[in-house]
Amino acid sequence: MDKMYVNGMKFYGYHGVFKEEQKLGQRFNVDVVLFMDLSQAGLTDELDHTVNYGEVYGTVKEIVEGEPVKLLETLAEAISASILGKYTLVDEVMVKVIKPDPPIPGHYESVAVEITRGRV
């Protein structure tokens, strides 16, 4: 299976369990991997045979900068469902949502959730 990567997307959203997170907001980074057959796109050089990664960015942006949710898991599910719903060429999607600055004490780079969803 071929893969398309859209990595390091950066957004500002209002997701989190704590009231401060929902009021002040914070940074979120998102990586997605789309699993699909890219052979026709490679052979024809036509955008109609692939997924426009600019549109994928817009889809993710709309969700992350949209309605607040409490959990990263919920955010990842919404992103994967939207991508699978919009892009019929995609057989499976991996979504990684990264929270670089969660309000928890300690020294770490980030926290993240990664899910993989496919068509049933």
Determine which one of 23, 61, 96, 99 is catalytic: 99
Q: What is the pLDDT of residue 2?
A: 98
Task: Give the Cα separation of 13 and 63 in Å (integer).
Answer: 9
Closest alpha carbon to 33 in 4, 2, 64: 4
- Give one word for 8, left, alpha or beta, with left for phi > 0 and alpha for psi -120 to 50: left
Q: For residue range 18-62, list pLDDT tens digits in order.
A: 999 999 999 999 999 999 999 999 999 999 999 999 999 999 999
Task: Give the Cα separation of 92 and 99 in Å (integer).
Answer: 23
- Going by their DSSP bridges, the two strands 2-13 and 26-36 should be labelled as antiparallel
Can you say whether the dihedral through the CA atoms of 80, 84, 89, 91 is positive or negative? positive
Active site residue 61: no
Q: What is the pLDDT of residue 104?
A: 87
State the total domains in the chain.
1
Within 10 angstroms of residue 118's Cβ, the number of other Cβ atoms is 12
User: Which pTM was predicted?
Assistant: 0.95
Q: For residue range 59-99, list pLDDT tens digits in order.
A: 999 999 999 999 999 999 999 999 999 999 999 999 999 99
φ, ψ of residue 49 in degrees (nearest 5): -105, 15
In this model, does residue 120 exceed pLDDT 90? no
Q: What is the pLDDT of residue 77?
A: 98
- The CATH number given to whatever domain includes residue 56 is 3.30.1130.10
Domain range enclosing 108: 2-118
